Chains A and B, each alone.
Chain A
Amino acid sequence: MTAAIVRKPRSAAGPETARGTYRAAVASEWTKLRSVRSTVWSLVVTIAITVGLGALLCAAVVARWDRLDPIERLRFDATGRSLAGIFLAQLAIGVLGVLVIGSEYTTGSIRTTFAATPRRKTVVAAKATVLAAVAFVVGAIGCFAAFGIGQVILQGKHVGVSLGDTNVLRAALGGAIYLTAVALIGFSLATIIRRTPGAIAALFAIVLVLPILSNALPSPWDNNVAKLLPATAGESLFSTRAAPDILTATLAVIVLAVWVVATFAVALISVSRRDS
Chain B
Amino acid sequence: MIRAEGLTKRYGSTLAVDHLDFEIQPGVVTGFLGPNGAGKTTTMRMILGLDAPTSGTVTVNGRSYVDIPFPLHEVGALLEAKALHPSRSAYNHLLSLAQSNRISRQRVDVVIDMVGLADVAGRPVGKYSLGMGQRLGIAAALLGDPPILMFDEPVNGLDPEGILWIRNLLKSLALEGRTIFLSSHLMSEMAQTADELIVVGRGRLIAADSVANVIGGGQGTVRVETPHFDELAAILRARGATVTYVDNALEVYGLDARTVGDVAFENRIVVHELVRQRESLEDAYFRLTDASVDFHAAALPELAGDRR
Residue positions of A touching B, CB distance < 8 A: 1-7, 9-14, 16-17, 20-21, 24-25, 27-29, 31-32, 35-38, 103-104, 107-109, 111-119, 275-276
A-B pair number, CB within 8 angstroms: 136
Instruction: Report the Cα distance A17→B69, complex, angstroms.
Output: 8
List 19 additional A-B contacts (Cβ < 8 Å) besides A32-B88, A116-B72. A1-B25, A9-B74, A10-B73, A11-B70, A12-B104, A24-B101, A35-B89, A35-B95, A36-B88, A108-B83, A111-B45, A112-B97, A114-B49, A115-B48, A115-B49, A115-B79, A117-B100, A118-B65, A118-B71
Q: Are the CB atoms of B26 and A6 closer together than 8 Å? A: yes
Most chain B CB inside 10 Å of its own CB: which residue of A11, A20, A38, A276: A11
Does residue B235 face the partner (Cβ distance < 8 Å to A)?
Answer: no
- Residues of chain B within 8 A (CB-CB) of A107 are 83-86
Distance between A84 CB and nearest chain B CB, rounded to angstroms: 32
**Measured between C-beta atoms, what is the minimum distance from A191 to chain B in Å?**
16
Could you jot down 18 A-B contacts, CB within 8 Å? A2-B25, A5-B26, A9-B61, A9-B73, A9-B74, A9-B146, A31-B99, A35-B88, A107-B86, A109-B85, A111-B48, A111-B79, A113-B100, A115-B48, A115-B50, A115-B71, A118-B68, A275-B52
Fill in one digit per residue for B76-120: 1 if any A CB lies within 8 Å of its CB, else 0: 010110111111110011011101111110000000000000000
> Please, how many angstroms separate the alpha-carbon atoms of A1 and B61 in the complex?
13
Q: Is A118 touching B66 in the complex (CB atoms < 8 A)?
A: yes
Residue of B nearest to A27 (CB): B99
Asked whether, in the complex, the Cβ of B96 is within 8 Å of the Cβ of A21, the reply is: no
Q: Once bound together, how far apart are the Cα atoms of A117 and B86, in whole Å?
A: 21
Q: Which residue of A lies closest to B143 (CB)?
A: A116
A114 touches B25 (CB 8 A): no
Q: Are A275 and B51 in contact (CB under 8 A)?
A: yes
Decide: A38 near B100, CB < 8 A? Known: A1-B26, A4-B26.
no
Complex Cα gap A113–B104 (Å): 17
Residues B21-46 near A (CB distance < 8 A): 25-28, 45
Residue in chain B with minimal CB distance to A35: B92
Chain B, interface size category, equals: 35 or more
Q: Is the interface of B mostly helix, strand, loop or mixed?
A: loop
A84-B100 Cα distance, complex, nearest whole Å:
39
* A29 nearest CB neighbor, chain B only: B96
Among A12, A117, A119: residue with most chain B CB under 10 A: A12
Q: Is the CB of B87 within 8 A of A37?
A: yes
What B residues does A31 contact at CB under 8 A? 92, 95-96, 99
A16 CA / B102 CA spacing, docked (Å): 10
CB distance from A135 to the nearest CB of B (A): 19
Q: Which residue of A lies closest to B179 (CB)?
A: A4
A190 CB to nearest B CB, Å:
14
Give every chain A residue within 8 A of B100 (Cβ-Cβ). 24-25, 27-28, 113, 116-117
Q: Does B260 sit at the interface, judged by CB under 8 A?
A: no
Docked pose: A36 CA to B61 CA in angstroms: 36
Q: Which residues in B have their C-beta under 8 angstroms from that of A28?
A: 96-97, 99-100
Asked if B301 CB lies within 8 Å of chain A CBs, one says no
Q: Does residue B140 face the partner (Cβ distance < 8 Å to A)?
A: yes
Task: Name the B residues within 8 Å of A12 (CB-CB).
Answer: 70, 73, 101-104
Tell me whether B1 is interfacial, beta carbon within 8 Å: yes
With a cutoff of 8 Å between Cβ atoms, the chain A residues found around residue B67 in the complex are: 118
**Which of A6, A24, A29, A38 is within 8 Å of B70, CB to CB?**
A24
A21 touches B103 (CB 8 A): no
State whether B50 touches A114 (Cβ < 8 A): yes
